């Protein structure tokens, strides 16, 4: 059975219309609906990157410093939070392009937890001086080892500057209306309408359009239509249609005039995009530095455990030698008690060192993963450090050169400069609001009228006889134009609100400039202090090496004397304690030295380049 040709054509037209209106994202209806739809909400990804399981072998996480840094970049939640900063800034730019104000960015950043520290950590039950073998670790939470510090890079203060003069709404608005009414009005005088009951039927329809522009101009256009029927004998036409096309333009001359004033929020939003990128870069610096510090501490604690194990082995050997001499009658029984006490004292030191290592391990795993120990694989994994505390290269540059490098590389200084720029834009709006409101206004209207002759009219007129098309023709031929222009002035007599806003904004702007200088002073201080700390740490490490060497020689000499009966176990124990402390001090000094180098890299803002970290790749994460 074949369809008639006309039906086939209509079916094809319907299918084509359906594909045009509804097909994909490019359909007409989809395009029309898009401004009124919320973006698709996606849940945050809380699973670890594949790198974690790639580094996991037989339940152990074999970790180098580079691996730890990459895991933190991919999985650390502080970094993940800042990945949304640019998207947030993009929404502000979209908002300001439509004529809205910026909602602002959060300038809060997170630092890594302090951790339990290195082998000379002060996490003890007593605040007095540490004596080896006499103290045990306490809850790290009580001394801030697990606390996350929040830093705020804002220099503008807690109170925002005033919004200044109002800006136009740049997004176009389209409006429409359709109304119908039937009116019956009893008449007290037949001379008015010629009928005791005046019946009127009204049907109105219209379209409107309005939009603001960067110059401050506001433009509106309206197309109105009224169709009316009546039983009045006084009207010449029934039904008739009256139509009009109207254009209104308002252009400010003082307050709210000019592209620089009305586009200021867009420029602020563009600066916010740059700030968002800098915030992410600063969070990367915080994270890389924090992870390297935690890793160095973990390696130092790992090595310190080995030192404590060797110290326990020496104490056990001393006990065995002492016991043998006591059994032979060469030493008094009290010497064996002293040696046994030393064994248990070194065991206490070893357990303390292992406890600190375990606490540090939990902290490291937490900052390198999305869910920490909530993930069973993470909880059971034991970290095996693959790197050592390699000594950093000697820093030969002087403080002025390093301060200059910091001024070029530190994101917090660049962020401060952009905040100054945004404050200047806000101040420009405040100053513009001081001006009086002086506007040029203009309008133009084209009118049209057409209808049928009223059959009950007393004096019929044929001038406007015609259809709706006749009325439209009159409009577009401009047969009946109306137009006008004028000047509107709104002059506040005292203007105290605007004056107060400008005065306060000027004060806040000066405070912002002062805070910027404070930040620069702080950056210079950090660089100089980090340089001094690195030099001091190097000297301390070199001294610790010599102290350990001499303590080894002293212990060796005392053990030789003990073996021939020329010394006592008490003296040997004393020299063993000195050597144990010297070895732990050397490990701690080496850890402090490499951490001092990382602190200098952070202070100068070069730590990402030194680790060959691409900010763009880091922003993508492991997705």
Q: Which residue has the tokens 């209104």?
A: 248
Radius of gyration in angstroms for the set of CA atoms belonging to the chain, rounded to a whole number: 41
- DSSP single-letter state for residue 186: E
- Write down the pLDDT at residue 372: 86
pLDDT profile of the chain (623 residues), mean per 10: 49 56 58 78 86 90 92 93 93 94 92 79 35 47 60 89 92 94 85 80 94 95 94 83 96 94 96 96 94 91 87 85 79 80 88 91 92 88 84 80 93 95 95 95 95 76 84 92 95 93 95 95 94 90 89 87 78 82 85 89 93 91 62
- DSSP single-letter state for residue 614: -
Q: What whole-number distance in Å separates Cα of residue 372 and Cα of residue 538?
A: 35
- Write down the pLDDT at residue 263: 95
Q: What whole-number distance in Å separates Cα of residue 74 and Cα of residue 132?
A: 40
> Virtual CA dihedral for 448, 452, 455, 458, nearest 10 degrees?
30
**Rounded alpha-carbon distances, angstroms, from residue 361 to 52, 367, 585:** 15, 10, 21
Show the DSSP H helices in 259-398 as ranges. 259-262, 264-328, 333-368, 376-380
- Write down the pLDDT at residue 458: 64
Burial class of 223 by CB neighbour count within 10 A (0 to 12, 13 to 18, 19+):
middle
> Pick from 35, 21, 49: which is nearest to 375 by CA?
49
- DSSP single-letter state for residue 502: H
Instruction: Provide the token pair at 522.
Output: 């702080």
Asked: is 53-136+265-423+505-620 a CATH 1.20.1600.10 domain? The reply is: yes
- Other CB atoms within 10 A of residue 584 CB: 24
Q: What whole-number distance in Å separates Cα of residue 512 and Cα of residue 415?
A: 12
CA-CA-CA-CA torsion sign (307, 309, 310, 312): positive
Q: What whole-number distance in Å separates Cα of residue 584 and Cα of residue 598?
A: 21
CA-CA-CA-CA torsion sign (530, 532, 534, 537): negative
The residues, any chain, with a CB within 8 Å of residue 437's CB and separated by 6 or more, are 252, 254, 255, 256, 488, 489, 490, 491
Q: What whole-number distance in Å separates Cα of residue 525 and Cα of residue 324?
A: 60
- Write down the pLDDT at residue 63: 92
The residues, any chain, with a CB within 8 Å of residue 116's CB and separated by 6 or more, are 123, 137, 140, 145, 297, 301, 356, 359, 360, 363
> Pick from 544, 569, 601: which is nearest to 331 by CA?
569
> Pick from 151, 161, 240: which is nearest to 453 by CA?
240
The residues, any chain, with a CB within 8 Å of residue 61's CB and separated by 6 or more, are 52, 55, 365, 381, 382, 383, 384
Q: What is the value of pTM for the model shown?
A: 0.84
- Write down the pLDDT at residue 135: 47
CA-CA-CA-CA torsion sign (264, 269, 270, 274): positive
- Write down the pLDDT at residue 131: 37
> Pick from 97, 276, 262, 271: which is nearest to 163 by CA?
262
The residues, any chain, with a CB within 8 Å of residue 267's CB and separated by 6 or more, are 425
> Pick from 204, 238, 240: which is nearest to 223 by CA?
204
Between strands 173-186 and 197-212, the pairing is antiparallel
DSSP string, 90-140: HHHHHHHHTT--------EEEPPP--S-STT---BS-SS---TTS--B--G
Angle at alpha carbon of residue 329, lines to 323 and 331, rounded to 5°? 60
Spans of all domains in the chain: 53-136+265-423+505-620, 173-258+437-491
């Amino acid at each position: 059975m074949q369809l008639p040709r006309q039906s086939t054509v209509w079916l094809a037209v319907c299918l084509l219309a359906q594909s045009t209106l509804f097909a994909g994202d490019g359909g007409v209806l989809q395009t029309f609906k898009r401004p009124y739809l919320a973006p698709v909400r996606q849940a945050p990804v809380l699973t670890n990157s594949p790198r974690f399981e790639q580094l996991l072998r037989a339940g152990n996480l074999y970790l180098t410093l580079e691996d730890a840094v990459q895991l933190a970049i991919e999985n650390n939640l502080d970094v993940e939070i800042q990945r949304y900063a640019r998207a947030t800034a993009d929404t502000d730019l979209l908002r300001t392009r439509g004529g809205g104000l910026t909602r602002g960015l959060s300038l809060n950043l997170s630092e890594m937890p302090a951790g339990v520290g290195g082998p000379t950590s002060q996490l003890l039950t007593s605040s007095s001086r540490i004596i080896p073998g006499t103290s045990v670790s306490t809850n790290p939470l009580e001394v801030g080892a697990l606390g996350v510090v929040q830093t705020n890079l804002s220099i503008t203060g807690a109170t925002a500057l005033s919004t200044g003069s109002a800006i136009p709404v740049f997004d176009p608005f389209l409006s429409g209306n359709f109304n119908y009414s039937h009116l019956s009005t009893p008449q007290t005088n037949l001379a008015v309408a010629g009928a005791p009951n005046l019946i009127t039927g009204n049907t109105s329809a219209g379209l409107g359009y309005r939009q603001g522009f960067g110059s401050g101009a506001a433009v509106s256009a309206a197309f109105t239509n009224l169709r009316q029927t009546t039983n009045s004998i006084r009207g010449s036409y029934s039904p008739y249609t009256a139509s009009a096309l109207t254009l209104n333009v308002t252009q400010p001359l003082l307050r709210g005039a000019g592209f620089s004033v009305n586009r200021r929020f867009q420029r602020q939003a563009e600066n916010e995009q740059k700030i968002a990128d800098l915030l992410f870069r600063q969070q990367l610096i915080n994270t890389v530095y924090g992870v390297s510090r935690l890793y160095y501490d973990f390696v130092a604690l790992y090595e310190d455990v080995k030192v404590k194990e060797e110290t326990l082995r020496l104490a056990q050997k001393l006990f065995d030698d002492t016991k043998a001499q006591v059994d032979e009658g060469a030493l008094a029984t009290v010497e064996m008690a002293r040696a046994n006490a030393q064994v248990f004292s070194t065991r206490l030191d070893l357990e303390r060192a292992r406890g600190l290592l375990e606490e540090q391990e939990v902290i490291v795993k937490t900052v390198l993963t999305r869910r920490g120990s909530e993930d069973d694989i993470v909880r059971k994994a034991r970290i095996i450090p693959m790197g050592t505390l390699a000594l950093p290269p000697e820093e030969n540059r002087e403080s002025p050169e390093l301060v200059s490098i910091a001024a070029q590389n530190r994101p917090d200084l660049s962020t401060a400069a952009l905040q100054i720029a945004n404050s200047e834009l806000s101040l420009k709006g405040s100053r513009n609001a001081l001006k009086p409101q002086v506007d040029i206004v203009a309008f133009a209207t084209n009118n049209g009228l057409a209808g049928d002759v009223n059959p009950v009219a007393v004096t019929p007129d044929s001038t406007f006889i015609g259809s709706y098309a006749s009325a439209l023709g009159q409009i577009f031929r401009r047969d009946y134009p109306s137009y006008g222009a004028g000047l509107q002035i709104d002059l506040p007599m005292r203007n105290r609100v605007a004056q107060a806003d400008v005065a306060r904004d000027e004060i806040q702007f000066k405070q912002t400039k002062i805070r910027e200088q404070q930040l620069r002073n702080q950056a210079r201080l950090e660089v100089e202090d980090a340089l001094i700390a690195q030099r001091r740490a190097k000297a301390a490490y070199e001294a610790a090496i010599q102290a350990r060497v001499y303590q080894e020689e002293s212990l060796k000499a005392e053990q030789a004397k003990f073996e021939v009966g020329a010394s006592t176990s008490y003296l040997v124990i004393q020299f063993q304690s000195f050597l144990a402390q010297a070895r732990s001090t050397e490990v701690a000094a080496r850890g402090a030295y490499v951490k001092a180098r990382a602190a200098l890299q952070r202070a100068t803002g070069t730590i990402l380049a030194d680790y060959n970290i691409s900010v763009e790749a880091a922003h993508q994460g492991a997705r």
